[in-house]
Structure 1
Amino acid sequence: MGYEIRKVAVLGAGVMGQGIAAHLANAGIPSVLFDITPKGAEDPRQLARDGIKNAAKLKPASFYKAADAALITPAAYGTDDALLAECDWIVEVVVERLDIKERVFQWVADNRRPDAIVSSNTSGIKLADMAATMDEGMRQHFLVTHFFNPVRYMRLLELVEGPDTLPAVTAAIARFGERALGKGVVYGKDTPNFVANRIGTFGIVSVFERMAQHGLSVTQVDAIFGPAMGRPKSAVFRTLDLVGLDTMDHVFGNVRDNAPDDEARERFVSPDFLKQMIAEGALGGKSGKGFYQKVKQSGKSVILARDLETGEYAPADRPRFDSVGAARKKETTGAKVKAVLGGDDVAAQFAWDVTADTLIYAANRLPEIADDVVNIDRAMRWGFAWDQGPFETWDALGVADTVARMEAEGRAVTAWVKDMLAAGRDSFYARDDDGALTYWDPTAGEAKAVPFSEGWLILAEKKARGALVASNLSADLIDIGDGVACLSFHSKMNALDEDIFKLYEQALNELDEGKWEALVVGNQGGTAFSAGANIFMIAMLSMQQQWDQIDAMIKSMQDLLQRAQYSNKPVVTAPWGLTLGGGLEVAMQSSACQAAGELYCGLVEVGVGLIPAGGGCKELLGRYLGTIPEGTNYDPNPFVQQAFRGVGLATVATSCEEARAMAYLRPTDRVTTDPDALIQDAKRLALGMVQAGFKPPRKRTFKLPGPSGRAAIELFLYQMHEGGYATDHDVTVGKKLAWVMTGGDIPANTWVDEQHVLDLEREAFLSLCGEQKTLDRIQHMLTKGKPLRN
C-alpha cells in the first residue's frame, strides 16, 4: 500500500509541536495543531492559537515566511475531533509521561482513519511501552519520529519502528522526512535515548568527569570542545544551557534506569554542581541563567560564566591553549582534531580523554542502538552539529595508532574494532576498487556499501569514481551524468576568484561546443554556496592604484555572468546556505535557479564600502522592472527605490521564501529542502529545460528615472544620516549606488539597456575603490570578520 502525506495532525502545541507544525508549513503541508482546553477558557482552542503565535515570533524564525502560519489550523481535543480523520499522519508531541501518552493514543484510536500513520516524537520512552495498549492495526501504522529542536534548523530525524510496523509505513515517513522536510533520516532501535542523545549524553558524562580530573573551568572546556574539535561554537556548556539542565538530568536518568547492560550505566549521574544548579532554578536559557548568564553592566551586555566550585558568576574569560591555537591553523576537521590531541598541554590531554572515552562508548553501542557506524555518524553530525561523527573522527586519527595508545593506557577497546584491524581493514570507511565508499559492518565482519538515499547526488562520490573533468585550486568541473556537468567551488568559504572564473569560462566553452547539454553551478560541504568575491585582491589592487586591472577584472566577471545568463543551453545555479555579494550575483544570473530551503542571501557589498558590480544592480533592477508588461506606462521610482533599499541596506534574506519576496529568487525558481538532493534536482531541472526545447531569454531594457529618482533616494539617505542610522561614508556609498540604480546622467524616465547599467556599476565600483574609508572597511572585514561602521 502506498502512503501519501497531504495533511498532518500535530498533538501538542508546546515548543516541539509548534516547530513541527511550522516546518510542515514551510513544506506547504497544512496541519491541525491540537491541544487541551484550559479550565474556564472561553476559547477551547486558545492553547493551540497561542502556540501558532509563539512559533511566528521565534528568532531564528520557524517559518520560511510568516504568512505560512495560515497553513496551521488550531484545534482542541473534544471540540475538533472530526478533523483527525482528515489527516494522513498524526504525530504526538505531548509531555514525556507514558500515562498521558496512552490517553492521547486512545483518543487517536477512536478518531483516526485506519490507514493514518501515527508516530511519537518521544525522546526517550520506549516504543514497546507506548504500543502495548494499541490494537494490531494501529501498531502496524505506529513508529517513533524523533525531531530535534529547533525543528527547522536541526537536520536529524530519528526513526524507530516496532516489530509490527509495516515497512511501507517507515518508508513513507522516511521519504516524506527527506524530500518534503529536508531531514536526514537515521534508523535507530528501541533503546534509551535512541542514537544521537545516547552518544551525545555519554560525551557530556565524560566531560563532567574529565574536567574535574584536569581542573578545568566552564570557559576552558568550551574553548577546547568547540570548532577546534569539530564541534559547534556553542561547544559543551552553551549547548547545555540551550537544552536545559533539568532536561539533561532527565536524560541521564533515562539511561541509568533503562539500560541495564550499558557498561557505563552507573556513570550517568548528575554531578553535585548540576543538582545544585537545578535546585537553584538555574536551568539555562529558559530560566535566564545556567552555566552562563547575560547581564547588563554599565549599560552594556556582559556574559558571565559560573564557577562550578563556588557557584558564583564572573565575566567569562577567553582561555588560550597552544594545542587549540595550533588547530586554528589547520583547514580540515581531521587535521584540527589531530592538532589538539597531538599537543602537550592540559587541553590536549583533556580532549584525548574525552575523545577516547566517546569513541570506545560509540563502538560498544553497536549493534545495540543502530545497525551500523553510518547511522551513528550521521546522527551526531545532523543532531549535534558535529563536523564528523565518532567513527569518522577515529578514521581521521588513525584507528591502529589510537587503539595502540588506548590499550597502552589500560582502556578496554571494543573487541570488534580489534577484529577489524586483525582482518586487515585499518579504517571504518574505505573506498573499494571502483571508488565506491564502504563501511565496516561488525556484525557481518565485512565491508558494505555506504547507503545513500534515492535522489541524492554527492559530488565527492562522483569525483571518487572518476567523474572529475577538470580542476584547479578553487573549483572542479564534474560530469554528473546524462550530459550534464557541474561547476563546483572549493575555495575558502567558496569565495570567488580568478580560478573559479577560469573554470566557469571553460565550462561555458564546452557547453557551446556541444560537449554538454546543460550546466549546473553548485557545491556541497561547509556553510556557503559562496560568501562573495575575494576582497583581499580588491584591496591589494586598490592600494597599488591598479585601476585598469580592477576594471578589467570586473568587466570580465560581468561578461562571464552575462554569458551564463543568456547561454543557448541551460545554466542552472543551486545556491544554498550563505550566498552573499558576488555569490548571489552568480546565482541570479543563470537560466534558472534551484535553491535550497535554507538560503541566506543578499547583496551586502555596502558593508565593505562597495556596491555590487558583477551584475547585481542590473539584475535586481531587472527583477523589479522586468515583470511589468510591455507597453505599460508606469512610474519606475517605486520599483527602483525598492531595489535600492535591498542593496543599500544590505538586506539579507533568511530563507528561500524571503529571498523570493526580495526578488533574489524569481517566482519560477524552485526549492529543494534536502541539501543532499539539491544538485540532483538542479540537474533534473536543467534536463527538463533541454527536453522542453530551451531557448535563452531576450536581453532586457529598463525605464530608469534619472535625476528625479536620484533626488528621492538622496533625501532618504539624508534622513538616515540625520537620524544617526547612516555614517558619512554610508551616504557616500549610497549616493554612488543611487547613481547606478537611477541610470546615471540620463533624462527622466529614459529607457536603457543592460550594458548601460553594467557600465555604471563598474564606474561606481572603481570610484569607491579609491576611497580610504572603503579600504578601511575592507581591512577591518579581513582582520576582524565583521563590518566597520566608519
Structure 2
Amino acid sequence: MANPIKKVAVLGAGVMGQGIAAHLANAGVPSVLYDIVPRDLPEGAPRSKLAIDGIANARKLKPAAFYKPSLAELITPANYEDDGALLAECDLIIEAVVENIKIKNIVFDWVEKNRRPDSIVATNTSGLSLKAMAAEMSPEMRKYFLVMHFFNPVRYMRLLELVVGEDTLPEVADTVAEFGRGVLGKGVVFGKDTPNFIANRIGTFGIVSVFHHMAAFGMSVEAVDAIFGPAMGRPKSAVFRTADLVGNDTLAHVIETVHDGCPDDEMRDRFVVPDWLKRMVEEGATGDKAGYGFYKKSRDDKGKRVILVRNLETGEYAPKGKPRYDSLGKARNQESVKGKVRAVLNGKDDAARFAWAVTADTLIYSANRIPEIADDIVNIDRSMRWGFGWEMGPFETWDAIGVADSVARMKADGLSVPAWVEEMLASGRESFYARDAQGRLTYWDKLTSSEKLVPMSESWLILKDLKAQGKVVAKNPSAELYDLGDGVLGLSFRSKMNALDDDIIRLYIQALDELDAGRWEALVIGNQGGTAFSAGANIMMVAMAAMQGNWDELSTMIETLQTTLQRAKYSERPVVTAPWGLTLGGGAEVAMQSAHTQAAGELYMGLVEVGVGLIPAGGGCKEMLARYLGDIPEGTDYDPNPFVQAAYKNIALAKVATSAEEARSMGYLRPSDRLTLDPDQLIYDAKRAALGLVQAGYKPPHKRRFKLPGASGRAAIELFLYQMHEGGYATDHDVTVGKRLAYVMTGGDVPANTWFEEDQILELEREAFLSLCGEQKTIDRIQHMLMKGKPLRN
C-alpha cells in the first residue's frame, strides 16, 4: 500500500470540486480547495475568493452537500499562485477542473512542480483519455496517476469509477480503492480507459436506445418515463426527468463523445444527437438549470402548480398526462423488482413491446462491452446500480427474466446475441450469477469461461449471503434472526418499509430471551435493501384497533413495545442498532434504545408521529428527555425548561435529521455513537462495536431520574402553541396534539422541578397516545396517510 491518505487537495472549486471537498469533510478528511485568482478581483477581496465562494456555495446546496454545515471548516480555501506549498502537505490530489484536456494539462504541470514525490494524483474526468493526459507528465508522476470519477451529487451518488494507466503502481490503485470504499463509503469499480468509462457508456446507450425506439412505438416523454421508472427497476426520475436533472446539453455532449471516440462500436450509429435534442440545446431548454427542458413547471388558470411536458416534434408544452398500460398495472401488483420487470417485459401491450426492444438492445450491448470497458459483469452491474440508481444491473436483469428464454426471444427478433453468452448456456450454466455449494455468490467470467466468486470486501456483511449459507436461526413473516458469527445474533426486519408490527416485536422479544439465556454474546439490529431501517409503527394496526374500540388491545400493544425497548436498552448483554435511510417514529425509538448505535452516514431520523395526530409512545418522549437531561451531572442545580423545550420542539415540529451528524446534533444519536459511510459495511461495523463492548466488560447503564418543569413549564409551551396557531402555522388539531405532548414532556399536573422515574414518563406517554387514538381527527390523519402517503393538515 502507498502512504495512508490523511489530507487531500481538490483542484477546481466548481460544482464537482465543491461536492468532492464537502464529502471529504463528511468523512472527516481535511482538504485544500484550490482555484485561480480572479482577473477582475475587487480591491481588498481575498485572492482565494473563488475557493471561498465555492465553500460558501457548497453550504447552501439543496440537497445538502455536508452532513452538517460546520464540517465546512475542514476545507481550506487556496489559490494556485500563492498556495503551492500547501500541496506538499496533501497525500492525494484530485483534479476537478473543466473538461478540457489543455486546461487539465496546465494544471498537472503546476501539480508536478509543487507536489510531494509520493503523493497520488487523480483526475475526476468523466470520460477524457487518461493516456492522453499522462502523455504530458513525467514518467515518475505517471506511476501515481489514475482516474477517480465521482458522480454528482457526490455525497449521494455511491459510484466511484477508478481507471488506472499502464504506469500506475498497483499499490497506488489499492490505496485509492480502499480510501474510496473504506473512508468515503463509495462503491468502487474498475473501468478501462475508454470514452465515458462504464456507467455513462452503458447508461447513455440505454438512453439513445429509448430515442431510437420511441418514435416507432409512438411513445411520448411521459409514457417513456412511466415505463422506464420503478416498473423497470429504475429511479423515479426515469429517462427524461434524469436528463433534465443532468442537463440536456451535457447529455448531448456525452452522446457525441461516444460517437467520436468509439469508431469501432457496433452501435455507433445510435450515438447521434436527435434533431429535436439539438433544437432544445440551441433554444436553451437544457433542463433544471434553465428552468425547463423535457418538463416545465407552470401554473394553471386557478394558480395551481402543474407540470407541463414537451412534445418533441413541435417543441410545445402541454399538461403532463397519465399513461396507462396493462403491463404497468400488473407490475404495480408485484412485490419484488424481479416480478415487476417480468410483468412489464412479458406483457402484450405497446409499453411491454417498447420496454423489451430497449432492454434487449441494452443487454446485448452490455455483453459486448466486456472486456472493452470492464473485465467482468460485476463491475458493469455495480456501476449501473451505484451510478444510475438501477435496482438491477444489466446482467442481474438478464438473470431475472431468464437468460435462455430471453436469448431465444432475441434470436427470434433477429438480434445477434454475443457468442460468449450462448457458450455459457451451452456449458450448462443457466444464469450469470449463482450460488456455489457453500452458498457463496458466483458470476460467470467471460475471459476464462468459468465460474468465479463475486469479489466482496472483508468488511461487508451481507444478509442475503448469510441466508444462502443457512445462517437464519428463526423467522416469521416480518423479521428474521441471523447468526452473524462470533457469538453475535442479528435481528432484521422485512415488513413493508420495515414498519414495526406484532411479528417484529415478537421476534425481538425472542432475541432478548436468547441473550438473557446466555446463548449469544450480543445482539445487532439491522437490515439491508429498500430505503428504510424502519419507517415507523404499522399505523394501520393502530387505526383498526382504535376504530373498533379495542382499547385494551391497543394499550397492551403499546405497553409491550415500551417494555421490549426498555428491556433492550438495559439488557445485561449489549444491543447495538444499525439505523440507515428512513428511521422514523417507532424506527427511531428502536434505534435510540440500545447500548450503542452504529449509524449510516445517510440517515433520515426523527420522531414524526404528530403528522398522524399521535405522539411517540414506544419510549420516544422518554428517550428524547434522556438525551437532553440525562447527561447533566447529578447534584447540579439547573432549570429544566430550556432542555425540555428543545426536546419538545424536536417532536412537536416533527424534525427529521438529514444525516447521522445532524441526528447527533439533534439528540437522536449520542456523542459516543459512531458512523459508517459504506452501507454494505454497516452491519459489520455494528457487530464489531458489539464485540468491543463485550470485550470491554459491558455493564448496562443505570436508569436515570429527570427533573421536569411541571404545569408552569407546560404553560410556556402552550404559549408557543398559541402563537403558532395565531400565525397560521398550526391547526386546531395540531394544538390538541401539541398540548398532549407538552403534558407528557413536562410531567403533567405537578409542581415545577418534580423528579420523575422513566417508568412514570412511559405511563404518561401511553395515556396520551391512547387518548389521541380516540380523536376522530387523528383517525382521519392516519387514514389519509395510508391512502395518500402524505400528512393531512386538519
Same fold, TM-score > 0.5, yes or no = yes
Listed as ranges, the matches of 1:146-225 within 5 Å are 146-225=149-228
Alignment of structure 1 residues 33-72 onto 2, 5 Å: 33-42=33-42, 43-72=46-75
Deviation at 1:354, TM superposition (A): 0.5
> Cα offset for 1:745?
2.4
**2:30 — aligned with what?**
30
- Look up the match of 2:533: 529
AA partner of residue 92 (structure 1) = E
Please name the residue that 1:355 is paired with.
359
How far, CA to CA, are the matches of 2:752 and 2:81 in structure 1? Answer: 65
**Aligned-partner SS, 1:310:** coil
1:12 aligns with 2:15: no
**Residue number among 129, 133, 136 corresponding to 1:130 in the alignment:** 133
For 2:563, which of 559, 565, 576 is the aligned residue?
A: 559
Moved more, 359-368 or 740-749: 740-749
> Hey, what does 2:344 align to over in structure 1?
340
2:403 aligned with 1:378: no
Please report how far the alpha carbon of residue 301 of structure 1 lies from its aligned counterpart in structure 2 after TM superposition.
2.5
TM-score, structure 1 length as denominator? 0.99
Is 1:325 matched with 2:335? no
- Could you list the per-position Cα deviations for residues 321-369 of structure 1 after superposition, in whole angstroms to 9, with x for gaps in the alignment? 1111111110110100011111111111110101001000000101111
Q: Which residue of 2 aligns with 1:579?
A: 583
Instruction: Identify which of 414, 419, 423 aligns with 1:415.
Output: 419
1:106 to 2:114 alignment: no
1:394 and 2:398 correspond: yes
Structure 2 distance, partners of 1:303, 1:147, is: 31
Q: Distance between the aligned counterparts of 2:229 and 2:269, measured in 1?
A: 27
User: What is the CA distance between 1:424 and its match in structure 2?
Assistant: 0.3
SS at match of 1:91: strand
Distance 2:396 2:335 in 1: 16
Distance in 1 between the 2:561 and 2:14 partners?
50
Cα shift at 1:40: 2.5
Shift of 1:748: 1.5
Q: Name the aligned partner's letter for residue 408 of structure 2.
A: A
Shift of 1:511: 0.7
Q: AA paired with 2:435?
A: R
Q: Any idea what SS the aligned residue of 1:480 has?
A: strand
Quote the sequence identity (%). 71
SS for the counterpart of 1:572 is strand
SS of alignment partner, residue 712 of structure 2: helix
Aligned-residue offset at 1:300: 3.2
Alignment partner, residue 79 of structure 1: 82
Offset at 1:454? 2.2
Distance in 1 separating the partners of 2:472 and 2:40 = 68
Structure 2 gaps, min length 5:
none
Q: What is the CA deviation profile of residues 582-613 of structure 1, one whole-angstrom value per residue up to 9, with x for unaligned ones?
A: 00000000011000000001000000000000
**Number of the residue aligned with 2:755:** 751
Which letter maps to 2:219? L
The SS at the match of 2:444 is: strand
Aligned residues of 2:346 and 2:352 also touching (Cα < 8 A): yes
Counterpart position of 1:735: 739
The one-letter amino acid of 1:673's match is L
Residue in structure 1 matching 2:712, options 690, 705, 708: 708
Shift of 1:259: 1.1
Q: Distance in 1 between the 2:559 and 2:7 partners?
A: 51
CA distance in 1: counterparts of 2:7 and 2:439, whole angstroms? 42
Q: Which residue of 2 aligns with 1:270?
A: 273
Distance 1:256 1:272 in 2: 16
Pick one of 521, 533, 546 that aligns with 2:550: 546
For residues 264 and 431 of structure 2, what CA distance do their matches in structure 1 show? 27
Task: Select 1:517's aligned residue among 517, 521, 541.
Answer: 521
Q: Give the letter aligned to residue 552 of structure 1.
A: T
Tell me the residue number matched to 2:257. Answer: 254
2:604 aligns to what? 600
Counterpart position of 2:241: 238
Residue identity in the other structure for 2:313: E
Corresponding residue number in structure 1 for 2:287: 284
- Specify the code of the residue in structure 2 equivalent to 1:85: A
Residue 568 (str. 1) matches residue 577 (str. 2): no
Paired residue secondary structure (1:697): coil
Following TM superposition, by how much is the alpha carbon of 1:441 offset from its aligned partner in structure 2, in angstroms? Answer: 0.4
Supply the distance in 1 between the matched residues of 2:25 and 2:278 (Cα, whole angstroms): 39
In the TM superposition, what is the alpha-carbon distance from 1:299 to its structure 2 partner?
3.4
Distance in 1, matches of 2:181 and 2:642, equals: 41
Q: Which residue of structure 2 lines up, in the alignment, with residue 658 of structure 1?
A: 662
Checking the alignment, whether the CA contact within 8 Å between 2:629 and 2:706 is kept in structure 1 is: yes
Which residue is equivalent to 1:490?
Answer: 494
Output the CA distance in 2 between the equivalents of 1:187 and 1:462: 26
Match of 2:482 among 464, 469, 478: 478
Q: Greater shift after overlay, 71-80 or 103-112?
A: 71-80
1:302 Cα shift? 2.1
- 1:744 Cα deviation from its structure 2 partner: 1.5
Give the SS at the match of 2:485. Answer: coil
The list of structure 1 runs, each at least 4 consecutive aligned residues, that deviate by more than 4 angstroms after superposition, is none
Aligned-pair distance for 1:46? 1.1
Distance 2:12 2:751 in 1: 61
Q: Aligned pair 1:507/2:524, yes or no?
A: no
Aligned to 1:675: 679
What letter matches 2:359 in structure 1? T
Which structure 1 residue ranges, 5 or more long, are not aligned?
Answer: none
Aligned-pair CA distance for 1:514: 1.0
* CA deviation after TM superposition for structure 1 residue 135, in Å: 1.2
TM-score, length-scaled by structure 2: 0.99
- Say yes or no: does 1:145 pair with 2:148: yes
Alignment counterpart, residue 729 of structure 2, candidates 719, 722, 725: 725
Query: 1:466-515, CA deviations, whole angstroms, 9 ceiling, x for partnerless residues?
Result: 11111111111000111001101111100101111111111111111111
Instruction: Provide, for residues 168-187 of structure 1, a one-character-per-residue CA deviation record: whole Å limited to 9, x for no partner.
Output: 11111111111111100011
1:160-212 Cα shifts (integer Å, max 9, x gaps) = 00111111111111111111111000111111100000000000010001111
Cα deviations by residue, 1:729-756 (Å, 9 ceiling, x for unpaired):
0000001000100011222210010000
Aligned residue identity for 1:562 = Q
Letter in 2 for 1:38: P
Provide the secondary structure at the position in 2 that maps to 1:204.
Answer: helix
Q: C-alpha deviations, 1:620-646, integer Å up to 9, x for none?
A: 000000011110011101011111100
**Aligned residue number for residue 447 of structure 2:** 443
Superimposed CA distance per residue, residues 21-80 of structure 1 (whole angstroms, 9 cap, x where no aligned partner): 000011111111111112121432111111111111111100000011111111111111
Q: Distance in 1 between matches of 2:264 and 2:506?
A: 59
SS in 2 for 1:86: coil
Alignment of 1:678-697 (within 5 A): 678-697=682-701
- State how far apart, in whole Å, the 1-side matches of 2:67 and 2:713 are: 33
Does structure 1 conserve the Cα–Cα contact (< 8 Å) formed by 2:712 and 2:751?
no
Contact 2:505 2:561 (8 Å CA) reproduced: yes
Report the residue type matching 1:749 in the other structure: N
Q: Secondary structure at the match of 2:88?
A: helix
Specify the code of the residue in structure 1 equivalent to 2:297: K
How far the C-alpha of 1:760 sits from its partner, in A, is 0.4
CA distance in 1, matches of 2:742, 2:254: 57
Q: Distance in 2 between matches of 1:360 and 1:500?
A: 43
**CA–CA distance in structure 2, aligned partners of residues 141 and 448 of structure 1:** 30
